[in-house]
Structure 1
C-alpha cells in the first residue's frame, strides 16, 4: 500500500463516527450570557442558539420557509421568540430588555438584548430561560451571570423555576 493509502486509512481511523453528520442534528442546548457593561451602564444579554435548532423550531411553529441564514424575516422571527422565552427581574422588578439585534457566527444564531442599570449598582437578577423547551423536552439552557472566570451558572429545562444571582462587576 502506498503512503497516500496509509495516510487515508489513518485519517479515517482517527475520524469519530458520525462527525460529518453531527451538525445536522439538533443539539438541544442554548447558552445565554448576562453581563454588566459599566461603560454604558447596561446589562448585556447574549443568547447563542444553534442554527439548525432555530430553523427546526421555526418550522415546528408553522413557518413554511424557515431559513435563518438567507432570510432576515426568519432570523428576526426567531429572535422575537428568544426574547419572549427569556425572563428577567432586576431587584424584584420584572424587566423586558430591549432587543438590540442578531447575527450569525459559525453554526450559531446570536440574539442580543440590553437593559439599563444604575451606575455602581450590583443588582440581584432572577432569570429563567425557557428557549426551545416548548419544542423539545430534553432542551437544556445554560445561563451564565457575570463575567470573568467565575460567573454564576444555571441550567434550565422545561418547567424549571427561576434562579437568582447577584450581578457583580
Structure 2
C-alpha cells in the first residue's frame, strides 16, 4: 500500500510539469449570426501569459488579480494575432479578459465578413518566447470547424469561415 501511495504521489506531482510543457494556445474564430459579429476567443495558460509579460520587462505580472497585467497581455495578443479577409486586415476590438480554470481568456470581436469567406490568419502568440510553441486556431463552431496549426515562424494561413 505504501508503494502505491508513493507512485500515486509521484504521478500527481508530475502532471502539472507535463501539462506546462505542452505550450499550446487555442483560439476560436466564429461568426455570430445573431449579431453579425466575428467573435474571437483566445485561451492561454496563465503561467505562459505571465512568462510572456516577464519577457517584455514587466517585473511581477499577475494576470489573476492585476487588471493591468491582463490588459498588457491582451495587447500582446493583439500584436501577435491577426485576421484578414479580401485583402483587408480585420480590426479586432478587445472586449475584455477573464480567468477560466488555469487559462487567461482574451475576447475580441469585429464586424463579420460572413460565413463562406476565406480568412487569412496569423497566430504567433508566445512564439517569440518558445520556439516549440503551438497555436491552434479553430474557425467555426460546433461540428463545422476548420483548424489551422501554427508554430514559430509560420506565415499566415488561410481557411474558409464556416
TM-score (norm 2): 0.90
Q: Runs of at least 4 residues of structure 1 off by over 3 A?
A: 8-15, 23-27
Pairing 1:84-163 to 2, within 5 Å after superposition = 84-117=79-112, 121-163=115-157
Deviation at 1:151?
1.0
Check if 1:72 corresponds to 2:51: no
Deviation at 1:95?
1.3
Deviation at 1:62?
0.3
The answer to whether the 8 Å contact 2:31/2:115 transfers is: no
Question: By percentage of residues, which structure has more strand?
Answer: 2
More off after superposition, 90-99 vs 36-45: 90-99
Counterpart in 1 of 2:4?
10
Q: Structure 1: any 5+ residue segments left out of the alignment?
A: 1-5
Deviation at 1:10?
3.4
Query: Helix, strand or coil for the counterpart of 2:35?
Result: coil
Q: Structure 2: any 5+ residue segments left out of the alignment?
A: none
More off after superposition, 18-27 vs 121-130: 18-27
Deviation at 1:25?
4.0
**Aligned-CA RMSD value:** 2.0
Larger Rg: 1 or 2?
Answer: 1
Q: 2: distance between equivalents of 1:47 and 1:106?
A: 14
Q: Aligned residue pairs: how many?
A: 161
Deviation at 1:153?
0.8
CA deviations 1:99-148 (Å, max 9, x no partner) are 11110011100001111125x65321110100011111111101111112
TM-score (norm 1): 0.86
